[in-house]
Structure 1
């Protein structure tokens, strides 16, 4: 039997697991987070095989099993759970394997004996084989693992919203049960026909079944018709071999899926393709067993072989197609539009991807559609508000951001963006209040402190601006913009020594930041530390050679220092890069006049 299970597991990985692995995790470098499911599956199967190993030395009397392998199995189950909570279910699977495969419990026979004899069997076969002792080990190990997790992760379950799992928020218990079962049928269909795949199934992707007369009820009726038939055969078949195979296959199919079933607790998704990765082991076992029965009953063996090859080829091609979709965010998100056109999150992600690529016009369309589908989608409002702000459509941006913070008052990013818009509209008092509200909801918010500093600088509240930017750099030491503004503000205020100290501190933290080199070089030039200033200007130009102001200010430094030819060279480069640079042309004309005077005097 163990050999046959190993063959089935290999079949699972080669035929079915390939496309499923790709659909959930793409190529190996696509996302580290997806590896949790693979690691969980690895240790889950190792735990199960370790439990099987505990019985390899079973003698004919059935009184021996390996305690060490039993403990190893529990340990591997704990490791599986650390990778993914779903991994703890391997202990339940091991118990089922022990009862129906090792102890060969015949439920139908037991029930008949209990009914007809009217008393509990005094010495059941499975009790004499140490079954209860092993169950105590499994139960104790599972309890200890759950307790440790409870201590580490805390006592309360995660908080989910209605958009994450609408069925769990339905008022009627009947409606909840119907929709949960409909979700089970969809998961079963994805195992059978993995054609409609989506990276996210929430936010209206699957409309709720609100009455028992909807045609979709057929799906869950079909599911339970098949399941009840399989369970009946697993429990009541006279063929003990069939009972063991079906019991184990159903155990692999159902037990790992229980944490995602909404039966034990509410989950934060409608359908998640990753949670059917482990149950697909049971699916493959049942399919393989079904094919073996069909192969025995059908005379035309070539037809069966051809059908299996066709199915394998179709799944292989589906794997290739889905893998290509996972190679880029754009393809992945757009592939979901045809599967879940009612999912606001899909439109949001497509819009975000387009916005990141600079296609704001197309992004606006998808953000608006996301908000239309989900009028309380605050993240879509925030991102759309940001784009409108950049396009100077400030009134609509303010309206969207105000609505976002109304819906979610603790949305710190929306408060900050609202403050930026209000600042642009010259409503400084409201902007300041929005910034402080953002900081109230997110204590460590360097970008908000930076924008608050800009507001104070616009209001000539220099001391407050310095404090705000200092807070930004304290919270985020690599905040280049805050450091730059600190240096420039101190420089403009005439505090050259303090500006120099801040600039040197910033460059220690960000030694390759050309903008900081430029700002400190300006300060050093004003302090007549020409050589140090020149070194920093040249370093900044080496990193970013096409910035006109870098060449222009270096030219001014050379001009003051008396290196007129070098000044002329960099003035000309600056004017070539930016012919209308303020002040550069005037300085260049002054230099040319000075050079002409020196030529007339014969000094050149």
Structure 2
């Protein structure tokens, strides 16, 4: 007969025994110090020995997510909820992991559950807003961000994201106010300055937009999109040489920036530098072969150079890519008139109004 091994846990359910305060403190110390490998090993050890310890499962899930082991993190997050179904933070953490795994509908449901359990959970309202934007449900996202701000008025990112939603809905005056609030809370918030520039641009307040873009690139000198948008504003104000400089800076920062090449072509053409403009448009096409705007602009330059037959080929290519491109259709009409195809040309011109496209 085999001898029984003695155990101090005889007659008890081992899963209900808790880890010591020393173990938990050590786990928290590793996690808060960013020693994720040590935290993972210790959390895995504790959850194996004490499978009902909620905090250890929470930390294990967080560490696994931060070390890009998201599928394993998902298992840990769900274990926490099984042990503590009314834990709002657990549902929130599950939502974060699901979002990163692109399991969108379940992520939304997790954030909603966290809010149902804890209505004043500002971060859950905020992340739900982020999720709703990705789902293109902008009015609902607006509500989520507004709720976030009501709960946490000093949440600069929520003000900025609300501005993004309002910008997207073309409510530029309201967007401007949101970005200004974000900047007041966080003056070095480069993205908020940038997006404020976009709102001001749309409102036709070009000089103010210029100030926003200047502040953006001061805070974030490698922000290629800000240089490009700055160039657009300068171009619209007739400051073509300055615009050219900004486009070149955008391209230097982002050599495959197709829109910046196209925009630089337009400003070169505005300065009468037709051959350089063609070079910029063609460079855009080496990056994005189906870029209809570049073909349209090549057509406009060639047409202006008195080469309607060559221009027609460029316009045809633009329309092949985008059959509804009215500017290319109108440009084609002008070329047809020049080569004597009057009926076809007049028909297209009456239907459309063409010019170089920004």
- Normalised to the residue count of structure 1, the TM-score between the two structures is 0.44
Which of 443, 456, 463 is equivalent to 2:207? 463
Which of 73, 79, 96 is equivalent to 1:349? 96
Which of 26, 33, 36 is equivalent to 1:260? 26
Aligned counterpart, 2:190: 446
Aligned counterpart, 1:519: 263
Q: Provide the rounded CA distance (Å) in 2 between the counterparts of 1:395 and 1:504.
A: 38
Matches for 1:142-161 after TM superposition, within 5 Å: none
Which moves more between the two structures, 421-430 or 555-564? 421-430
Q: Provide the rounded CA distance (Å) in 2 between the counterparts of 1:586 and 1:426.
A: 28
5+ long unaligned stretches in structure 2: 1-11, 46-63, 343-358
1:504 aligns with 2:268: no
Aligned counterpart, 1:335: 75
| 1:348 counterpart SS class | helix
5+ long unaligned stretches in structure 1: 1-214, 225-253, 282-323, 599-604
Compared CA separation, residues 559 and 418, structure 1 to 2 (3 A): same
Give the conservation status (yes or no) of the 8 Å contact 2:197–2:208. yes
Q: Provide the rounded CA distance (Å) in 1 between the counterparts of 2:15 and 2:304.
A: 86
Q: Provide the rounded CA distance (Å) in 1 between the counterparts of 2:189 and 2:13.
A: 48
Which of 564, 574, 591 is equivalent to 2:308? 564
Give the conservation status (yes or no) of the 8 Å contact 2:285–2:294. yes
Q: Provide the rounded CA distance (Å) in 2 between the counterparts of 1:325 and 1:348.
A: 12
Matches for 1:379-398 after TM superposition, within 5 Å: 379-389=123-133, 393-398=137-142
1:549 aligns with 2:296: no
Q: How many residues align?
A: 304
Give the conservation status (yes or no) of the 8 Å contact 2:234–2:243. yes
Aligned counterpart, 1:93: none
- What displacement does 1:375 show? 3.6
- What displacement does 1:436 show? 2.0
Once the two structures are superposed, residues 460-482 of structure 1 have per-residue CA deviations (whole angstroms, 9 ceiling, x without a partner) of 21110111112122222332332
Matches for 1:203-242 after TM superposition, within 5 Å: 219-220=16-17
- What displacement does 1:437 show? 2.2
Q: Provide the rounded CA distance (Å) in 1 between the counterparts of 2:17 and 2:222.
A: 55
Compared CA separation, residues 404 and 568, structure 1 to 2 (3 A): same
- What displacement does 1:216 show? 8.7
Q: Provide the rounded CA distance (Å) in 2 between the counterparts of 1:326 and 1:422.
A: 32
- What displacement does 1:369 show? 3.1
- What displacement does 1:511 show? 3.1
Q: Provide the rounded CA distance (Å) in 1 between the counterparts of 2:76 and 2:116.
A: 18
- What displacement does 1:542 show? 0.3
Q: Quick check: which has more Rg, 1 or 2?
A: 1
Once the two structures are superposed, residues 209-251 of structure 1 have per-residue CA deviations (whole angstroms, 9 ceiling, x without a partner) of xxxxxx9998338x78xxxxxxxxxxxxxxxxxxxxxxxxxxx
- What displacement does 1:363 show? 4.1
